[in-house]
Structure 1
Amino acid sequence: MYTANEHRYDKMLYNRCGKSGLKLPAISLGLWQNFGYGSVFANVEEMCRTAFDLGITHFDLANNYGHPYNGSAEENFGRVLDRGLRAYRDELVISTKAGYEMWDGPYGDRNGSRKYLTASLDQSLKRMGLDYVDIFYHHVFDPDTPLEETALALDNAVKQGKALYVGISNYNKAQTEEMLSIFRELRTPFIVNQPSFSMLNRWVEDDKLDTFCVENGIGLAVFSPLYQGFLTDRYLKGIPEDSRVGKGNTWIGDQLTPQMLKKLNSLNDIGVSRGQKLSQMAVAWLLHNKAVATVLVGASRPQQIIDNVGALDNLDFTAEEISEIEKVLAE
C-alpha cells in the first residue's frame, strides 16, 4: 500500500487562488495526455504518486480526457485513488471540467447547457469514486448557450455539494468579465480561469486577461506551459522520431521552423545561465506573472514531473534576464 513521502510539503510553494481561501501548488499535474486509455497504468500511478510526494496536491482532469475513450483518464485516476491515494483525499485538490464533445446525441456534444453540465459532473464523480470535486469548470465558452444558464448550472453544483469552487476555461477577458458579473450576483465561489499560456503563446497578456484577473481576485491556472513540448530540450537539435511533433501528435508541428529552433536555442542559453533547463525557466517565467496561481504541467514519465518541480529552485528574474527573454521572443 502506498504511503506518501513525509517531506512532501518541504519544498513546494503554495499560492492563494485569486482572493479565495484556497491555496494551489505552484505546479499542478494535468492529466490531459498519457493518463487515459492505452497508457500503461503502472506509469500513470507512478506519475501521480511522484507528484504528490513532491507536494503537488492539485490534480486536474476533464470529462473527455483519455480520448478516444472519453473518461478513461478519470477512470484511471479513480484506480490510483483506490490504490492508496484516496487515504489523502483531504490533502488533494481534484478538478474536472465539462464543455467539449463527450457522448453521442445533442446533450453530450460541445455545449454549456445545464443538462450537459449536470449529467457530466455526475458521470465524472462516479468514474473517480468521489462525492465532490474541489473545482468544477466549464471547459470552453459556448456562444449558443446563455451565460446565465451555464453559470446557474455551475452554481447548482456547489449548492448540491458536488463541487466546492467553480471555474471557467478558455474564456477571454470579455467573456470572463460577463461571467464574473453573474457569479457575483449569485454569490458563487468562482475563483479560477484556466487558459493556455506560455512564452510562445501570450494571448493572455495581449487580451489583458491576466490584468483583469488580478484586479478582480481570480486566479489563473495555466495549461500548455511548454507549448506542446517546444519549450523543452527535445527539439533543440531537431525533431526526434518519438516526439509529439515526430509522431504528428500535435497541431503546431509546422511551427517548428529553423527560425523557431534558433529562438528555442537562444532561450535555452538564457536558462543555462540561470542554472535551469529550458522547461524549468519556462515554468518559472509563468509564475513570475502575478495572475498565475498554478502552472499545470503534463508528463509522460515521472522524471519530467521532478524536473518541472525543479523550476522552483530559481523563480527570480533580473531585469536584464527579462529584457533578454523579451528580445528573443520578439525575433
Structure 2
Amino acid sequence: MKINDHNPLLPYHAAAERYDSMKFRKCGNSGLKLPEISLGLWHNFGHNADFTLGRKILRRAFDLGITHFDLANNYGPPYGSAEENFGRIFEKDFKSYRDELLISSKAGWDMWPGPYGNFGSKKYLIASLDQSLKRMGLEYVDIFYHHRPDPETPLEETMGALDQIVRQGKALYVGISQYSAEDTVKAYDILKSMGTPLLIHQPRYSMLDRWVENGLLDAIGEKGVGSIAFSPLEQGMLTDKYLKGIPEDSRAAKDGRYLKAEQISEDKIEMIRKLNDIAKTRDQSLAQMAIAWLLKDPRITSVLVGVSKPEQLDDNVAAIKNTEFGPAEITQIKSIIGAK
C-alpha cells in the first residue's frame, strides 16, 4: 500500500483498502478478532512528543488495517498524557470509526500519590478507569487490563473489580498483563466463576525475552485465552539499529529508563548480527523476522508494536506476509538465541 502522508490540517478519511492486507486472529476461544499487528501508545504520544506526528502515526496505522490501539493510565510522560492526546486525536479523526476500533487501557502501576493510586485494589482500578475514560472521551474501552500482579491484594478482589467494570459497561472485555502461568490460571478460574471470561494476557515477549515459554503459553493455550506480546523488538535491539554498536542518537545512549547501554553487550550485538543474516535470507528485515517469529505460534493473537514515525508501521505490518519458518531455520535461530 502506498504511504498516504495525511495532512493533519485536513479532515481524515480512512483508506478504503484498509482491510485488504491485514490479517486477523481470533482471541482465544472468544468471538473477538485482533489484527496480527497492534499499535501501542507507550512512547511518542505524551505531552513531550510531537502531537502532529502522533496523529499521522495513528492515521497510518488505521489505513493499514491496525484496528487496535493499546494505552494505559500512566503512558506519557507525564502520566495520563498519552490518553489525553489520544482523546484529542480520536475526537478529530476517529470518532466516526469507533465501532471499527479496539481501544484498550490498563491500570496497575503508580498513577497518583497515596495508597489508592497503585497496584490492584478495587478502589484504584475503578477510579483509574473512570479517569481514563474521561481523558479519552470514551463511554467504554474494548479491553481493560490489570497491568501487573499485586502481591498484597487478594486476586479475588482484583478480578472482582474487573468483573464489576464489565457489568457496569465500562469495558467490553478484561485482561491481565505480566501474570505468571499459575496466577493466570487462578485469575481465569475466578473470573469464570463470576461469569466474566478472561479474554487476553499481555506479556512481554521477544526472541531475547522468552519467559512466557516456561508455562504461560501452555496455560493460555489450554484455557483458550488470547495473548498480545509487547516489546517484540526488545526496545529496538531486534532491529538493524545496533548492528554496529550503540548509535549516539539511540534510546540506549540518550534515555536509560527503558534500554540501558550495558544491556547491549558485544556478545548480544554478535547474536543480533547472526539473526540479521538469517532475516536477509528470508527477504525480511530483522524487525520483521522478530515479529514473524512470535506470530508463528498460533497462541499469539497479536504483536504490539511502538513506532516513532509512520513509515515504520509499513515495515512492521509487512512481517505478516511470511510467518512460516522451515525446520532448518527454526533449529538455526534457536541455537543462536539459546532456546530449547
TM-score, with structure 2 as normaliser? 0.95
Query: What is the CA-CA distance between 1:252 and the residue it aligns to?
Result: 4.0
What amino acid does structure 2 have at the position aligned with 1:129? Answer: G
2:332 to 304, 308, 324: 324
2:224 to 217, 229, 236: 217
Equivalent positions of 1:129-140 (< 5 A) are 129-140=137-148
Equivalent positions of 1:1-331 (< 5 A) are 1-67=11-77, 69-108=78-117, 110-206=118-214, 208-249=215-256, 250-330=258-338
CA distance in 2, matches of 1:221, 1:330: 23
Query: What is the CA-CA distance between 1:313 and the residue it aligns to?
Result: 1.7
Q: Which runs of 4+ in 1 moved over 6 A?
A: none
Single out whichever of 246-255 and 69-78 deviates more from structure 2.
246-255
Task: Name the CA shift for 1:203/1:252 in 2 (closer, same or farther; >3 Å).
Answer: farther
Secondary structure at the counterpart of residue 84 of structure 1 = helix
Query: What is the CA-CA distance between 1:62 and the residue it aligns to?
Result: 0.2
Stretches of structure 2 that go unaligned for 5 or more consecutive residues are 1-10
Secondary structure at the counterpart of residue 13 of structure 2 = coil
Query: What is the CA-CA distance between 1:253 and the residue it aligns to?
Result: 2.8
Query: What is the CA-CA distance between 1:251 and the residue it aligns to?
Result: 4.0
CA distance in 1, matches of 2:330, 2:142: 35
Secondary structure at the counterpart of residue 48 of structure 1 = helix
| Deviations 1:101-145, CA, capped at 9 Å, x for gaps | 00111111x210000001000000000000000000000000100
What amino acid does structure 2 have at the position aligned with 1:84? Answer: D
Contact 2:246–2:261 under 8 Å retained in 1:
no
What amino acid does structure 2 have at the position aligned with 1:82? Answer: E
What amino acid does structure 2 have at the position aligned with 1:216? Answer: K
CA distance in 2, matches of 1:200, 1:138: 25
Contact 2:155–2:187 under 8 Å retained in 1:
yes
What RMSD, in angstroms, separates the aligned Cα atoms of the two structures?
1.0
What amino acid does structure 2 have at the position aligned with 1:14? Answer: F
What amino acid does structure 2 have at the position aligned with 1:17? Answer: C
CA distance in 2, matches of 1:248, 1:137: 27
What fraction of aligned residue pairs are identical, expressed as a percent? 55
Secondary structure at the counterpart of residue 34 of structure 1 = coil
Secondary structure at the counterpart of residue 251 of structure 2 = coil
CA distance in 2, matches of 1:40, 1:87: 24
CA distance in 2, matches of 1:185, 1:312: 37
CA distance in 2, matches of 1:319, 1:219: 26
Secondary structure at the counterpart of residue 6 of structure 1 = coil
CA distance in 1, matches of 2:31, 2:338: 38
CA distance in 1, matches of 2:52, 2:211: 37
